[in-house]
Amino acid sequence: MKEKNEKKVARVQTGVRVERRILKILKSVAAFHEISMSDLLEGMILHNFEGKTPFGPETLALIETLRKSYKLDLTAEDSHRIFEEQPQEQE
């Protein structure tokens, strides 16, 4: 049953590269909330567009535990300093 305030959107498939530990955490958070990765990302982005945090205390505590488990040492401060090491060419 559709809610009265639902909004119709057009979604597109995209190929986005994400740091592997961040992806593991995102997948875990989506599973915790029993939602798809797409729904998680859309929700996070829409909250951020309005300057709001997308997560409450319970989810933030989960994320902190997952950061430690996956040894994610990157912070928001690192976001513009991340680079991907290029694979070495085979001779």
Domain boundaries, the chain: 20-70
pLDDT of the residue at 75: 94
The single-letter DSSP state of residue 5 is: T
Residue type at position 8: K
CA–CA distance, 47 with 5 (Å, rounded to integer): 18
pTM for this prediction? 0.82
pLDDT of the residue at 32: 97
Q: What is the largest CA-CA distance in the chain?
A: 62
Residues 1-36 have pLDDT tens digits of 567 889 999 999 998 889 999 999 999 999 999 999
The single-letter DSSP state of residue 54 is: S
